[in-house]
Structure 1
């Protein structure tokens, strides 16, 4: 996709984690790793976006801010390990690789950016600023975290926001911008932006589909004024939807990631697939977009899928995208909702139990504070169904 004076071009990718095995290869490999195969695509756009899934820091002291980090061991649910306390970081030298690849904006709103505390975040901000890479979604306080990035290109003001409901920032505490401010921030950004992109880090791990409540919320965000929504976190690709003139990418997948570190998806082929989203737009209007299918090779770097692999990927993406309306129905989404509740209720129980044993009662407050209205509605719906089934039998 070539730059053009008549419109703006955007390229977006999902989770970028430059630590663990990726970091080892950066320090020992060529200057182009891990973006050698895709740099020409990333460099071709006016705006190139990704989610930076780990701080760029030399800090060694881990921070236990997120309640999921306090479990002593993973919880096994249906034979799969959940709640692994994985900490991620990468050497600040990686900022140069990101800049050279073409990234000029990165979301820091995710569940790993504060793994090494405020010092780790500050070092990340400094490293990226050095290479003129804009950051969104995390900052030294809540106000800083909620600030949008604005690009002025070809007469179009492009505003970009980012959110996640983990490591939430406070008035005097560094952290991440929570999703509860999305509507307010979009309305404020409309004063300065002709075209609005919203990045959100959320969703069920390794699920091919979003929840019905998540689809409804994404539609609401488009109705509020967003033109494009870029979601990430499930670590697999989810469907793409056109809605009310906007585009929703429910999960962009793992773009650069040492997939061996998580027992939940280290052997999962779906976790080694991602996409590059390329879009052309003018003021408040999408002109068109393309999807470039990506696979992660054995060195954890993205490569463009070709021939039969590309055709298989294209068919898969088309299939899960066409199934989104079924997920929105009660029939299609009920299994996903039950699975979501089952996993999260069991995890919450183990976290609370561990917190009580350790005397870390603040974690219980964090669990309660993290429960969304949609989660509460799902829980009530599940309890009512259970009661109904018990009495009907």
Structure 2
């Protein structure tokens, strides 16, 4: 069939709740059920103390900053992100959790500013305000015309892939699932009679086989498949063996790309049998400025991932990564020195997977499939 490459934008955690919600035009209730911070505006104050004044209210486009121009220039066919917040005014606080995220539904134009085609929802914050909050989240996103995957009013809906049309009557299918290793409570699992997310207790062979079975049921000739997974710890570069085996099983079974997230900083990349596996995309938008404790990971540095796939095979032609920095709750281009740091760390940690990453003078990183590139 041939045709042009299909470029997919993949983003890590987009956390528009809590402090970010407070700087937008319609801030919700600022009270928080946290042990140390009881007012979401405190996170704004911490960010301002670290880097300077943040406008309040800020325009809806503010958190995305210079990322929007990058997205417009790249013009990807599909934009996928992990929306790690509830979109609700519910006060039905999920018990036993240390951190809770919600954004006011009236602030959804902030999310829409990035024009996402799919919001992955199977993560450890989408039910922070209970099943009532999840219902309002699903209704609000649907009313805004935003596709979702990974959560639903029952298990069938939670497992249903989002479908994005591609040129030439093709489709891109997005499956979203979350695992206990990312801190998702078992009680958040959707069932035939209960709302929730597509939840897996572990990255097991049996779970991989079940997901592959679902892929094969719906994937048609010409379709591409992305599996978006919320898994693993927040910090560190090591990738557990079960995650590697799980990702490989998905690719062997028909997935064209694996979109991993949960870590607060980027984790290694792999090109397995010609297909991209992103083990952890890192945070993209959050309210963590001014919070200390893990400075060695430089979680203020963020990446935009542009993955270009061959339309017939789904194999990676190349991936382009754009380093950004969170500053005053807004994304800006990373400095040359910081881009060099991102390149050094990502190239070093990905080398064990045989991944080759180069850096252009302006800072953009390129991932080359084995046998290609400089």
Q: Place the TM-score, normalised by the shorter chain, in its bin.
A: 0.7 to 0.9
Offset of residue 324 of structure 1: 4.2
Q: Is the CA contact (8 Å cut-off) linking 2:284 and 2:302 kept in structure 1? A: yes
Q: Which of 232, 236, 241 in structure 2 is aligned with 1:212?
A: 241
Offset of residue 221 of structure 1: 1.2
Residue equivalent to 1:373: none
| Pair 93,193 (structure 1): closer, same or farther in 2 beyond 3 Å | farther
Offset of residue 128 of structure 1: 1.6
Residue equivalent to 1:274: 302
Residue equivalent to 1:92: 105
Distance in 2 (CA, whole Å) between partners of 1:261 and 1:211 is: 30
Q: Is the CA contact (8 Å cut-off) linking 1:157 and 1:192 kept in structure 2? A: no
Offset of residue 185 of structure 1: 1.7
Residue equivalent to 2:189: 168
Matches within 5 A, 1:1-393: 6-27=4-25, 28-43=57-72, 44-64=75-95, 69=97, 85-155=98-168, 156-165=170-179, 166=184, 167-179=188-200, 180=207, 181-191=210-220, 194-259=223-288, 265=294, 267=295, 269-281=297-309, 282-286=311-315, 287-297=317-327, 299-324=328-353
Rg larger in 1 or in 2? 1
Q: Is the CA contact (8 Å cut-off) linking 1:42 and 1:103 kept in structure 2? A: no
| Pair 144,193 (structure 1): closer, same or farther in 2 beyond 3 Å | farther
Q: Is the CA contact (8 Å cut-off) linking 2:301 and 2:334 kept in structure 1? A: no
| Pair 7,123 (structure 1): closer, same or farther in 2 beyond 3 Å | same
Taking only aligned residues, the RMSD between alpha carbons, in angstroms, comes to 2.1
Structure 1 spans left out of the alignment, 5+ residues: 70-84, 326-393
Offset of residue 213 of structure 1: 1.8
Distance in 1 (CA, whole Å) between partners of 2:289 and 2:93 is: 21
Q: Is the CA contact (8 Å cut-off) linking 2:265 and 2:297 kept in structure 1? A: no
Distance in 1 (CA, whole Å) between partners of 2:19 and 2:231 is: 24
Deviations 1:182-223 (A, max 9, x none): 222222222376211000000122121211221121111111
Offset of residue 260 of structure 1: 5.5
Distance in 1 (CA, whole Å) between partners of 2:225 and 2:109 is: 27
Offset of residue 264 of structure 1: 6.2
Offset of residue 262 of structure 1: 7.4
Q: Is the CA contact (8 Å cut-off) linking 1:11 and 1:47 kept in structure 2? A: yes
Distance in 1 (CA, whole Å) between partners of 2:88 and 2:112 is: 17
**Secondary structure in 2 aligned to 1:14?**
strand
**Secondary structure in 2 aligned to 1:252?**
coil
Offset of residue 235 of structure 1: 1.3
Q: Find runs of 4+ consecutive structure 1 residues off by over 3 angstroms.
A: 260-265
Distance in 1 (CA, whole Å) between partners of 2:83 and 2:127 is: 12
Higher helix share: 1
**Secondary structure in 1 aligned to 2:87?**
coil
Distance in 1 (CA, whole Å) between partners of 2:100 and 2:293 is: 15
Distance in 2 (CA, whole Å) between partners of 1:284 and 1:304 is: 33
| Pair 193,204 (structure 1): closer, same or farther in 2 beyond 3 Å | farther
Q: Is the CA contact (8 Å cut-off) linking 2:149 and 2:162 kept in structure 1? A: yes
Residue equivalent to 1:370: none
Distance in 2 (CA, whole Å) between partners of 1:146 and 1:108 is: 11
Distance in 2 (CA, whole Å) between partners of 1:304 and 1:249 is: 22
Q: How many pairs align?
A: 302
Stretch deviating more after TM superposition (184-193 or 219-228):
184-193
Q: Is the CA contact (8 Å cut-off) linking 1:150 and 1:193 kept in structure 2? A: no
Q: Is the CA contact (8 Å cut-off) linking 1:164 and 1:202 kept in structure 2? A: yes
Distance in 2 (CA, whole Å) between partners of 1:260 and 1:275 is: 16
Distance in 1 (CA, whole Å) between partners of 2:259 and 2:106 is: 27
Offset of residue 86 of structure 1: 0.8
Offset of residue 273 of structure 1: 2.4
Q: Is the CA contact (8 Å cut-off) linking 1:26 and 1:34 kept in structure 2? A: no
| Pair 270,185 (structure 1): closer, same or farther in 2 beyond 3 Å | farther
Distance in 1 (CA, whole Å) between partners of 2:154 and 2:291 is: 30
- Scaled by the length of structure 2, what TM-score is found? 0.76
